[in-house]
């Protein structure tokens, strides 16, 4: 009888040890992540401060036993930035709801919470700066040059050459140069004697939060005596 009791005790202890090992294995398979620098991978922290999750990752090892189909040693899993249950912290959980029991940093995902909000970047609309050159002095010429100043804190004309300005007038040469420090120079040479008025439109790229108005353009000048130039921002 004494031998039987001892053997029974031994089996009971062995069973308890096996249950403990099984429980530890289950935790290791269904839980990952413990903080640190986030790279957007499985169970990494995510959100406005930590950044987005990777769209998908390839899992293997113990994670594959939980997240992949039976027999697969690795597979691709879609990720989503979800809060942990009973916590404001977000982790990159498997996005598929069938993995709702999967744990990151010891917690399941709260799949009822919306994803992190992002602040939209306002769209900056370029302004059209229209120069009109007239000929009150009845000058005969095939060329002129306009010099205009602007507040460079509000933006610039976005480039050099024929990129930033255009005209419907037939020309043999047309250049527009922005020094990025508040001065725009436009030079036009026609195929013959110019017929006025002539309009030139330039695209002004506004800085974030800034608005260019007509008064910002000051008083542009034209290099030919007898010609006049006005400007309107629209």
CA–CA distance, 189 with 39 (Å, rounded to integer): 57
| In contact, 103 and 31? CB cutoff 8 Å | yes
The dihedral sign for the CA sequence 157, 161, 166, 167: positive
Residue 95 has pLDDT above 60, yes or no: yes
CA-to-CA dists, residue 62 to 25, 32, 88, angstroms: 9, 10, 27
Alpha-helical segments (H) within the chain: 2-30, 61-67
- The CATH code belonging to domain 127-233 is 2.60.40
Token pair in block for residue 129: 């700066």
pLDDT in tens, 180-232: 889 999 999 999 999 999 999 999 999 988 999 999 999 999 999 999 999 99
For residue 223, which phi and psi values (nearest 5 degrees)? Answer: -80, -10
Point out which residues pair with 133 in neighbouring strands: 198, 229
pLDDT in tens, 18-46: 444 444 344 333 445 444 567 999 999 99
The answer, as to whether pTM is greater than 0.75, is no
Domain boundaries, the chain: 41-119, 127-233
β-strands 198-206, 155-156 pairing: antiparallel
Location of structure tokens 């099984």:
22
Among 166, 94, 136, CA closest to 230: 136
pLDDT in tens, 41-68: 999 999 888 899 999 999 999 899 999 9
């Amino acid at each position: 009888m004494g031998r039987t009791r001892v053997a029974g005790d031994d089996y009971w202890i062995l069973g308890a040890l096996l249950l403990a090992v099984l429980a530890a294995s289950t935790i290791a398979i269904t839980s990952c992540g413990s903080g640190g620098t986030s790279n957007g991978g499985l169970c990494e922290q995510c959100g406005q401060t930590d950044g987005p999750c990777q769209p998908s990752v390839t899992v293997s090892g113990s994670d594959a036993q939980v997240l992949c189909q039976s027999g697969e040693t690795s597979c691709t899993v879609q990720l989503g930035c979800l809060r942990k249950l009973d916590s404001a912290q977000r982790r990159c959980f498997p996005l598929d709801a069938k993995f709702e029991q999967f744990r990151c940093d010891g917690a399941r995902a709260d799949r009822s919470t919306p994803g992190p909000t992002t602040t939209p970047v306002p769209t900056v609309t370029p302004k059209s700066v229209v120069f009109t050159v007239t000929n009150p002095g009845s000058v005969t010429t095939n060329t002129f040059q306009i010099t205009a100043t602007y507040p460079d804190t509000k933006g610039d004309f976005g480039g050099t050459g024929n990129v930033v300005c255009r005209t419907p007038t037939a020309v043999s040469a047309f250049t527009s140069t922005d020094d990025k420090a508040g001065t725009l120079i436009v030079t036009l040479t026609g195929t013959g004697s110019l017929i006025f008025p002539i309009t030139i439109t330039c695209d002004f790229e506004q800085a974030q939060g800034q608005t260019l108005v007509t008064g910002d353009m000051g008083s542009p000048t034209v290099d030919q005596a007898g010609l006049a130039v006005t400007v309107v921002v629209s």
